Structure 1
């Protein structure tokens, strides 16, 4: 889920694409940090989890 509870993608399959929208609340001045976590389970019930962090700094325009 994102910081604002807007997105929570579930039920993706191998090869699916995850889209990341660079959106923030206008009052949020510290930029954005996204954590994308994938959990894969095989037919035997074995699970593995991997995460990637995407940091999008706030622009420095005045």
Structure 2
């Protein structure tokens, strides 16, 4: 998903989303969104889509 799509789904502005993503990166000590995605994948919080795409989707606990 693009940042615009995420912002629309969460009903927030793109600016707000970017601010919050920056907050998450700082809190985690990540250099960029790739570091955040890699860390969440290593922790089992995300998974690659079944279609083989590169987009990671958040996996909610069952």
The bucket for the TM-score relative to the shorter chain is under 0.3
Relative to its length, the structure with more helix (as a share) is 2
Relative to its length, the structure with more strand (as a share) is 1
Structure with max Cα Rg: 1
**TM-score under structure 2 normalisation?**
0.22
Q: Which has the higher contact order (CA 8 A, sep 6+)?
A: 1
